[in-house]
Amino acid sequence: MRNWLRSGVLVLLCWAQGALAGTVLVVGDSISAAFGLETSQGWVHMLQQRLDTEAADYRVVNASISGDTSAGGLARLPTLLAEHEPEVVILELGGNDGLRGQPPAHLKQNLAAMVEQSREAGAEVLLLGMRLPPNLGQRYTTAFAQVFDSLAEEKELPYVPFFLDGVGGVEGMMQSDRIHPTAGAQQRLLDNVWPVLEPLL
């Protein structure tokens, strides 16, 4: 009888530990989808490896799609939240909005809606900011950058102001298209995210 009880307690403990597993949901575009690379080379995959190494009981779901915009992410988000019930949502969107010249006000509206939906689902939100190349014009690039800065301040979000810091425009860090990071840049991307993400886990 004692052995049976002991076995039962062990089963319950194992079940409880499994129930503590959390989910980090990454909703992004080609940068997080590891465009031009093997998925295993991307920073999101490396994030899962770091969590596994540090015995953090989290799984990472990469819901990033190359070419996606903030409008596309907003349309997909309700299903993703219902399916994965994440504890943390990482938003890495906006670059394609900017490259297509879409109004910054629309970008901010879409991202703000994603923040609110994620919070209503019980998730913390980490915002990854983007910047545009100067050839798109100072007025537009400034307005674009201010979307992320102002949203992070208004919503009091954990925030990485420039996700591609140390990567964008750096020799050897970008693929030949000068838009997507190389395999060698992925560790730097993770290092940009980790100090802000870690306190949320």
Q: Looking at the annotation, which residues are catalytic?
A: 30, 177, 180
- Alpha carbon distance 158, 124 (integer Å): 9
Q: Which amino acid is at 26?
A: V
E strands along 66-154, which residues?
Answer: 88-92, 124-128
To which H or E segment does residue 55 belong?
Answer: none
7-28 in b/e form (b: 16+ CB < 10 A) is eeeeeeeeeeeeeeebbbbbbb
Nearest to 38 by CA among 172, 182, 170: 182
